[in-house]
Amino acid sequence: MVGRHLCCVCCLLCCAMASAKHLRIIVTGGTSGIGKVLVQQLAASGHRVFFTGRNKEALQGLASCEGVRGSSGDVTNEADVERQFSEALEFLGGLDALVANAGCGAGRQNFEDLPAEQFDRVFSTNVRGAFLWTQRALRVMKPQGHGQIVMTSSVAAMRPCPKAAIYAASKAAVQAMVLSLRAELKGSGVKIGSVNPGAVATEWWGDEGRGGWTKEMGPGSALPFWNDMLRPEDVADGIMTLLTQAASSNIESLVLDPADAGGVAPPDVAKRQRVD
């Protein structure tokens, strides 16, 4: 009995160590911000990484890392996802993990002024994109009986702030997808969880095209709030925690606040930083 117990413990440890060593991972939205830092961290730890985005220059820059390949495509476009998923399987030679990270915001407009196109763009990217990639990952992971999926959600899913209703709603949808899938995947050997950061200092904030705020924000910003945000490295560390968790563990969500947020990020931003 003791021998069998020890053997099970050894199996768990071996599984955890083997998967921690050479994971084959897809990262969507790996060309910028959190995803870019994650790809770099994963490559530095010896994992094999296939990452996606649309910015060709950024794709080429990172793809020079060993064991890393970038691929251009839109997460909202099913044909792109289908093609890229095949490319990923060919390059990786299998699949251990998917990080559905690509996302965008809806800007900082009052609810009544938000164009319906913004709604469609945000839901298409944040929800449909995660759905399309996760579907394909599950078709590989369920038959093989193992795999880890991580969705980059947001604290906005639980603590929505003003002028971010559509973004928050899209992340709440991501959260619901994670919870429903966790129940559906029970006993399958496949795990899914979310990482929910507060405000993170990435390019997103300074780029209205990404649904960010204002060009005064972004890397190098002199605005005080910039220094109070999480770093993308903090979030990449959180994602790594899910990817490398023990076989006996199944993290549902990891909520990350900036150090002085006191559980109210990012709404606190609105008080400190008048941009409108």
Ligand X SMILES: NC(=O)c1ccc[n+]([C@@H]2O[C@H](COP(=O)([O-])OP(=O)(O)OC[C@H]3O[C@@H](n4cnc5c(N)ncnc54)[C@H](OP(=O)(O)O)[C@@H]3O)[C@@H](O)[C@H]2O)c1
For ligand X, the binding residues (CB under 6 A) are 29-35, 52-55, 58, 74-76, 101-104, 125, 152, 154, 197, 199-200, 202-204, 210
Q: Count of CB atoms within 10 A of residue 72's CB?
A: 15
Closest CA to 237 of 27, 41, 16: 41
Q: Are 272 and 261 in contact (CB under 8 A)?
A: no
User: Which residues have a Cβ under 8 Å from the Cβ of 176 and sit 6 or more positions away?
Assistant: none
Is the Cβ of residue 33 or residue 147 nearer to ligand X in the bound state? Answer: 33
Number of H helices, E strands in the chain: 10, 7
Q: Are 133 and 101 in contact (CB under 8 A)?
A: no
CB of 203 to ligand X, least distance (A): 4
Is the Cβ of residue 19 or residue 80 nearer to ligand X in the bound state? Answer: 80
Instruction: Provide the residue type at 69 as one letter.
Output: R
Closest CA to 41 of 178, 227, 230, 231: 231
CB of 35 to ligand X, least distance (A): 5
Q: Count of CB atoms within 10 A of residue 262's CB?
A: 9
Is the Cβ of residue 16 or residue 179 nearer to ligand X in the bound state? Answer: 179
- The backbone region for 77, taken as left when phi is positive above 0, alpha when psi lies in -120 to 50, beta otherwise, is beta
The catalytic position among 167, 204, 213, 225 is 167
CB of 193 to ligand X, least distance (A): 15
Q: Is 31 a catalytic residue?
A: no
Is the Cβ of residue 75 or residue 137 nearer to ligand X in the bound state? Answer: 75
CB of 185 to ligand X, least distance (A): 21
Which residues have a catalytic role annotated? 167
